[in-house]
Amino acid sequence: MTLSKLSRRDFLKGAGATGGYDANPEMMQAWVRPEDYEYSSWWNPSWGTTGDGHMMGLAVGAEMDSLPQPVMNFSNATPSTFVEKRVYFPGAMNWGIMVTEEGKRFTNENNQHGLVLSDRMENGYRVFTPKDAFRSNAFRVLLQYGFSISEAIEMLDAKQDTAEFRESLQEQRQKLERERILLDYRQRRIESMLDVLETDGKVDFKLVHIPDQLYVNASHGRDFTVSMENEKVLAEYYDLLSITSCARIITRENLLDDSPAVDPDYINIASVEERHFLSDYAQQRVKRLELGRCVRFRRTVTREESVRKETFDDLFAYLDTRQLAIRGDILIMPMFLNLDGEGSDIEVLYVPVNDQEASDSASSSGSI
C-alpha cells in the first residue's frame, strides 16, 4: 500500500509503514536526538523522503515511535546532490544489527568505516587498490570457514602469522563440531515429532527405557520464585536448547494422593548422557530424575485437562492390566502446543515403573 492510499482508518487501526524523513530538516531536528543527528545521520533532499507518511499519520491522531529514531539512509550520493554528510550508514544503526531477508547478519554495524577504507574522489567514486581486493577476498574466505563478521575483521586486523592462524582454525573446527552435534540432536527431535504426528495425537502406550535426566527447577508448582535462585543454571540450559528441554514433573505422591488435580513443577532437563555439555557449576546444582524402565503415555489434552486426575484414568488402567506399579516421579514432555487451534496439546508422559513386573521382551530402548 502506498502512502497516498493510507486512510485515516488504516492509521488508526495500527502502525503505519511510512518510510523516512531524512530529506526534511525540520522533522530531523524535531524527532532525532541531537547526539544522533550530530554523529549518526545526514539528509539528502534528492531522495524525496520528506516524511509525508509521518505527517499524514500525525494529522489523523497517530503517534510517532519514541526516541531514539535511527535514520536509515546510505552514503552513495554525488557531491552535487550530497547536501550534508556526517558518518556513513552503519553509524545510524549503532544499536542494532543488519540482516538479510533470511535473517543472516551481513555486516559489522560497529565499524564506522566498513571493511575496506578508501577515499572518495570529487566525482563521487571511490578508488580501491589490489590490497583492498585481497582484504575483501580474505574476509570472504574467513566467512566460508564459519567465522563471524567481527571475528573475521579482528583476524584480518591482527595480521596473524601461520601458527596463530592454524590455532584459530583448530578452535573453529572444535566449535563447528559442537554445532554439528547439536544440529544432529535437533534433527532427531524433529524426526521424533513427525513420528508423533503420524499417530494423530491418539492415546498411545509403550514400554521404553529412558536415560535418567538432570533437571533444574523453574518453579515449585505455580510459584516461580525459585527461577531467580536458579537463574544462571537455567540460562545455561536455554543456551543448549538443542539437547535440553522445557518440561514438567509430577511427584509420585501427588499423582497418587486424593487431590482432584496434580500440581506439577516446571523444569528444564538434560539427559545424563549429555552431562559433558554442562559446566561444572551447573552439574553441581542440578537434580537427578531417575527414569530407566518407563511407560510412555502419549495423549492430547487441553492445558486445563492435563492437570485433572481423571485424565490419568487411561494410564492407571494400562498399569493395572499389566500389573505395573509407579516407581518414581513422572516426567511430562510437551511435544506440540495448541496443535488443533482449540487449546489442545500433545504431551508425552514418562512414568517410571517397577522392573519386577515389566517384561524384557515387551520393552524397547528410546530417548526423549
Task: State if pTM tops 0.75.
Answer: no
Q: Give the 3-state secondary structure percentages of the chain, helix then strand then coil, rounded to 5.
A: 40, 20, 40
Q: Crossing angle, helix 149-158 and helix 130-144, to 10 degrees? A: 130
Would you say the C-alpha torsion 239, 333, 285, 182 has a positive or negative sign?
Answer: negative
More confident position, 13 or 320? 320
CB 233 within 8 A of CB 286: yes
Residue 289, beta-bridge partner list: 213
More confident position, 188 or 211? 211
pLDDT-based confidence at residue 285 (cuts at 50, 70, 90): very high
pLDDT-based confidence at residue 53 (cuts at 50, 70, 90): confident
CB 97 within 8 A of CB 149: no
Nearest C-alpha neighbor of 334 from the set 272, 247, 253: 247
Q: Identify the pLDDT of residue 5.
A: 40
CA dist 68 and 33 (Å) reads 7
Lowest-pLDDT range of 42-46, 63-67, 140-144: 42-46
Cell numbers 577515499 correspond to 119
Q: Identify the pLDDT of residue 308.
A: 93
Q: Identify the pLDDT of residue 35.
A: 65
CB 215 within 8 A of CB 268: yes
pLDDT at 258 over 80: yes
Q: Identify the pLDDT of residue 87.
A: 38
Quickly count: other Cβ atoms within 10 Å of residue 139's Cβ: 18
CA dist 57 and 39 (Å) reads 28
Q: Identify the pLDDT of residue 162.
A: 85
Lowest-pLDDT range of 31-45, 289-303, 354-368: 354-368
Q: Cell numbers at residue 286, please?
A: 542440578
CB 126 within 8 A of CB 80: no
CB 298 within 8 A of CB 350: no
Mean pLDDT over residues 139-145, rounded?
87
CA dist 129 and 117 (Å) reads 10
The fold adopted by the segment(s) 200-365 is Multidrug-efflux Transporter 1 Regulator Bmrr; Chain A (3.20.80)
pLDDT-based confidence at residue 7 (cuts at 50, 70, 90): very low
Mean pLDDT over residues 50-66, rounded?
75
pLDDT-based confidence at residue 350 (cuts at 50, 70, 90): very high
pLDDT-based confidence at residue 217 (cuts at 50, 70, 90): very high
pLDDT-based confidence at residue 117 (cuts at 50, 70, 90): low
Q: Identify the pLDDT of residue 143.
A: 86
Q: Identify the pLDDT of residue 297.
A: 92
pLDDT-based confidence at residue 345 (cuts at 50, 70, 90): confident
Question: What average pLDDT does the chain have?
Answer: 77
pLDDT at 365 over 60: no
Q: Identify the pLDDT of residue 120.
A: 66
CB 260 within 8 A of CB 307: no
Q: Identify the pLDDT of residue 215.
A: 97
DSSP string, 341-356: SSSEEEEEEEEEB-TT
More confident position, 260 or 10? 260
Give the largest Cα separation in the chain, rounded.
90
CB 108 within 8 A of CB 139: no
CA dist 253 and 251 (Å) reads 5
Q: Provide the 8-state DSSP code for 165.
A: H
Would you say the C-alpha torsion 186, 188, 192, 197 has a positive or negative sign?
Answer: positive
pLDDT at 115 over 60: yes
Q: Provide the 8-state DSSP code for 133.
A: H
Q: Identify the pLDDT of residue 362.
A: 43
Mean pLDDT over residues 343-352, rounded?
87
The domains of the chain are located at 3-114, 200-365
CA dist 267 and 230 (Å) reads 11
CA dist 234 and 223 (Å) reads 16
